A and B are shown apart, each in its own frame.
Chain A
Amino acid sequence: MSTEDAWFYGLPPDDESAAKARISEGEANEPADWPEVAVETGFVEDVEAYYDKLHSITTAAANATVQERERADDQQLKHAVRAMDDCERTANELAERVAEWAGTRLSDAGTGVEYARELVRGVTTDPADADLRSLAQRVVDLADEAADLRRTVETTAPDVAPNLSALAGPVLAARLISLAGGLESLAKKPSGTVQVLGAEDALFAHLQGSAPSPKHGIIYTHEYVSGTDPDQRGSAARALAGKLTIAARIDHYSGDRRPEIDAELDERIETIRSRGDET
């Protein structure tokens, strides 16, 4: 054994955050009589004091890690991405209302969230436009909220689903998890279902016999689908869905990052696209 392996080695006695980090991240090959080492090295007065300290530090460290891990939970991600979509959609709807209203009062009225921002910055100071400005402020707040939520999704998704986020990008990864209801249920879906997630209306129309089968659902937003020639798009969607399904399964069942699946997908899409060039 080696004294330097102890979680408390060289720690100032009252540095709780450093101690928590040592408990969480430290390593040693072999255990040792740490209580005795702690007394011998003067870290604590006696063994009882050591156990008191160990109890408070291990509890605090476990608590911090639990909170961190639970924040990075797939259900939290689902709520964040749904809230983000709600905020964006509502901001856009209200922005249309603002534009329509502003058009009746101001000569150079524009459209969209950007115009709402201009209004808030003070295109008009007429007291009669107070309601209009106030509504524009709501649009801006919602758009800012959506941007904050997007940042949350972008940082959380790689924790929840590292492989899926690497392949799909964090936002699409979060949308897939949200559509499936969670990472576990996404991991249990066949690839053909993942391919058309988000295209349920088209799928049911097809199943009733009145429409062609949908080639892709929400994964259309991925560049590998939208950026592929329409003739090859079905193949690209199928290949992407296959790899996304595998990524979701690795994320759910093992959780470690496997960079090789990125390369396999890149290669596959390249083959599909070059096939399109030849014809």
Chain B
Amino acid sequence: MTLPHGVERRAFDGTESLATQGEPVYGESVEDGWRQWVPERSKLGAMLELGVDTGLAGGETVLYLGAASGTTVSHVADFAGPTYAVEFAARPTRDLLDVAADRHRLFPLLKDARAPETYAHVVEPVDVIVQDVATRGQADVALANHRFLQDDGRLIMAVKARSEDVTRDPDDVFADVTDQLETEYEILESRRLEPFHDDHLAVIACPR
């Protein structure tokens, strides 16, 4: 698996780590203009670190669902093309706005990812959807946003078992979520994100 163009392995304090080029945002280490991308803090970072074939090449148009305070989005915007960042909570969006201030192709949208009709008048069809929403009904969100994905596009999703049901076995939760996804997506790869994130499943899929 190759890293997307714009993402490189660089040395930070003697150890190799993923990195992108851009303005620093959350106190990460910076060497020669390259910002360290820590997999423990980013599910997409963990996927790249673990060698998941995300299909990302760099320069894609991205719809990012669950942008939160913009930690991962900042790296995505560094290597991707136009990036639409959807986040519903006001508090993290304030930090996301700081990230967007330095990135002119990052468009923050204070919207509910469960209600795509509230942003379909702004978001264009995209090459990639990155989904990291911590609400119940994560598969529903992916299905509802299917309309934004181009025919040859990719869904890159981090499923958080605890958001669906804290009491159930994560494997059962993941099985239900992937079953539901398969009604509209073809799943290309899925794997757990341990040791970086407990009880999370990475899913790479394309539209059926």
Interface residues of chain A, those whose CB is within 8 Å of chain B, are: 5-7, 22-24, 26-35, 51-52, 54-55, 58-59, 61-63, 65-66, 69-70
Asked whether A27 lies within 8 Å of B82 as measured between CB atoms, the reply is: no
Chain A residues with Cβ below 8 Å from B82 are 51
Chain A residues with Cβ below 8 Å from B90 are 65-66, 69-70
Cα separation A63 to B105 with both chains bound (whole Å): 17
A51-B82, A59-B100, A59-B101 known; A34 vs B124 contact (CB < 8 Å): yes
Chain A residues touching B, majority SS: helix
A66-B90, A69-B90 known; A31 vs B110 contact (CB < 8 Å): no
Q: Can you sample 25 A-B contacts with CB below 8 Å?
A: A7-B121, A7-B122, A23-B109, A27-B120, A28-B120, A29-B117, A30-B147, A31-B123, A31-B148, A32-B124, A32-B125, A33-B125, A34-B122, A34-B123, A35-B124, A55-B100, A55-B106, A58-B100, A58-B108, A59-B107, A59-B108, A62-B110, A66-B94, A66-B97, A70-B91
Asked whether B120 lies within 8 Å of A31 as measured between CB atoms, the reply is: yes
Chain B residues with Cβ below 8 Å from A28 are 117, 120-121
Q: Which of B90, B105, B123 has the most CB of A within 10 A?
A: B90
Asked whether any CB of chain A lies closer than 8 Å to the CB of B168, the reply is no
Asked whether any CB of chain A lies closer than 8 Å to the CB of B2, the reply is no
- Closest-by-CB residue of A relative to B93 is A66
Q: Interface size class for chain B?
A: 20 to 34
Cα separation A34 to B61 with both chains bound (whole Å): 13
Shortest Cβ gap from A254 to chain B (Å): 12
Asked whether A51 lies within 8 Å of B104 as measured between CB atoms, the reply is: yes
Cα separation A270 to B131 with both chains bound (whole Å): 50
Chain B residues with Cβ below 8 Å from A33 are 124-125
Q: Give the A-B contact count at a CB cut-off of 8 A.
A: 80
Chain B residues with Cβ below 8 Å from A34 are 121-124
A65-B90, A65-B110 known; A52 vs B104 contact (CB < 8 Å): yes
Shortest Cβ gap from B155 to chain A (Å): 15
Asked whether any CB of chain A lies closer than 8 Å to the CB of B118, the reply is yes
Give B57-98 as 1s and 0s: 1 = Cβ < 8 Å from A's Cβ atoms. Answer: 000000000000000000000000010000000110110110
A30-B120, A66-B110 known; A55 vs B93 contact (CB < 8 Å): no
Asked whether B123 lies within 8 Å of A62 as measured between CB atoms, the reply is: no
Cα separation A24 to B18 with both chains bound (whole Å): 35
Q: Which of A5, A22, A32, A59 has the most CB of B within 10 A?
A: A59
Q: Which of B101, B104, B120, B148 has the most CB of A within 10 A?
A: B120
Out of B91, B96, B104, B117, which one reaches A55, CB within 8 Å?
B104
